[in-house]
Structure 1
Amino acid sequence: MPIRCAILISGSGSGMEAMIQHQKANPSCGHETVLVISDQPGVMGLERASSLGVDARCIPLPQIENRSERRAQHEAMVHEALQSKGVELVLLSGYMRLLTPYLVSRWAPHLLNIHPSLLPAFPGAHAHKDVLASGVSVSGCTVHHVDEGMDSGKVLAQRRVPVFPGDTESSLAKRVKIEEHTLYPSVVDHIIQQTLPQEN
């Protein structure tokens, strides 16, 4: 049976769509997406997931004034949804929330993220802006384990992308996304192949 994956998103879900398309085109890859969760209502990623036949749910933050309690209740709802679908591997793909120890402790090491820079350089939500401001000539993307820090988990794989003179955040992001959309599925393939028992 394929490993059951969930993908957490906050926006358009282009990386999520690339992962699901990879799974559908390669049924022997050993993993399938059974749930997509967005913390933001009305995003394109939810429509994309539904159109691909995947259970797509919005779990927004509850309207609670206390920030810690708000985050705790939100992650408890996410955890319950993951468990209800029998999820075995959680993939963050453009999910713009820093996870708390509650969720990390329950899912690590089966919790991965893809980040649009060559970590440990340029962590955080504004990687492309920071890359361009720094003047470096190479950027890229990184798949890593998720821990309790900001993009600080163990690096699993990276792809390099040149930064050209005159690049904007948009033009750089487009080139990085091309690499993201093939790197992430290939890393998950590799992890699953190592996890599954080998046939004699």
Structure 2
Amino acid sequence: MLRVVVLVSGSGSNFADLLDRARSGRVAVEVIAVGADRECGGIEIARAAGIPTFVEPFAPPREAWSDRIAERVEAFEPDLVVLSGFMRLLSAEAVSRFEPALLNTHPAFLPEFPGAHGVRDALAAGVTETGASVIIVDSGVDTGPILAQQRVPVLEGDTEATLHERIKLVERELLAEVLAGIADGSIDLADHGLEHRLDQPDTAPEEAK
């Protein structure tokens, strides 16, 4: 059984789906804590479910705030950390404390449309399909190793809200599949992380150091 800490920032709809799957035995994980950068729906869901929570409001510098988040997470000794609608970038040092056991879902078919507005950017680009991805978080913006992804069509008349809701359904399935694979050993995060690191240049740009 994987011990998972989830980080949220918003309504928590994807987290609620994961929690339901976990508690019904459909995914072999135990959500042991939920953290956030603000009071939000995801935290309220966790509290209602009796899950330990913490809120660490963002305050610059980002590195110090990231360290506080990492320390709060590490206190629960998780096997895995899942970002579920967590809208803050963690510092590279904080990411390194968990990598490769730090996952994120993204509402686009990466490397297409990275960043905080993947759904909006897909609509603005006029594409006929976008997608959903589950990745290992690295120090970049949605640049980590891709563990699973699936295409989602853009329908005539789609708004950002309607498209995002359909993408969320796919994100939830993909995350469940990835977690099941990690739990049963068919997905080895260490292998994915090593492969990605070997593909990277030996030196990082100054702003990433």
- How many angstroms does 1:61 deviate by? 2.0
Deviation >2 Å, runs of 4+? none
Q: How many residues align?
A: 187
- Which residue in the other structure is 1:31 paired with? 29
**How many angstroms apart in 1 are the aligned matches of 2:87 and 2:121?**
17
**Contact 2:22–2:29 (CA<8 Å) still a contact in 1?**
yes
1:92-171 correspondence to structure 2 within 5 Å: 92-171=83-162
**Contact 2:108–2:130 (CA<8 Å) still a contact in 1?**
yes
Q: Which residues of structure 1 form unaligned runs of 5+?
A: none
- How many angstroms does 1:80 deviate by? 1.6
TM-score by length of 1: 0.89
- How many angstroms does 1:104 deviate by? 1.1
Amino acid paired to 2:139: E
- How many angstroms does 1:138 deviate by? 0.9
CA RMSD of aligned residues (A): 1.5
**How many angstroms apart in 2 are the aligned matches of 1:167 and 1:192?**
36
Q: Which deviates more, 119-128 or 93-102? A: 93-102
**How many angstroms apart in 2 are the aligned matches of 1:105 and 1:32?**
23
- Which residue in the other structure is 1:11 paired with? 10
Amino acid paired to 1:48: I
**Contact 2:95–2:137 (CA<8 Å) still a contact in 1?**
yes
SS in 2 for 1:7: strand
- How many angstroms does 1:14 deviate by? 0.8
**How many angstroms apart in 2 are the aligned matches of 1:74 and 1:21?**
30
SS in 2 for 1:107: coil
**Contact 2:63–2:90 (CA<8 Å) still a contact in 1?**
no
**How many angstroms apart in 2 are the aligned matches of 1:158 and 1:89?**
19
- How many angstroms does 1:35 deviate by? 0.7
Give 1:52's match in structure 2, choosing from 46, 49, 59. 49
SS in 2 for 1:82: helix
TM-score by length of 2: 0.85
SS in 2 for 1:91: strand
Amino-acid identity (%): 39
SS in 1 for 2:97: helix
- CA displacement 1:3-29 (0-9 Å, x = unmatched): 2110111111111111111111116x4
- How many angstroms does 1:195 deviate by? 7.2
**Contact 2:135–2:147 (CA<8 Å) still a contact in 1?**
yes
**Contact 2:31–2:51 (CA<8 Å) still a contact in 1?**
yes
SS in 2 for 1:144: strand
Q: Which residues of structure 2 form unaligned runs of 5+?
A: 188-209
- How many angstroms does 1:73 deviate by? 2.0
- Which residue in the other structure is 1:72 paired with? 63
SS in 1 for 2:140: coil
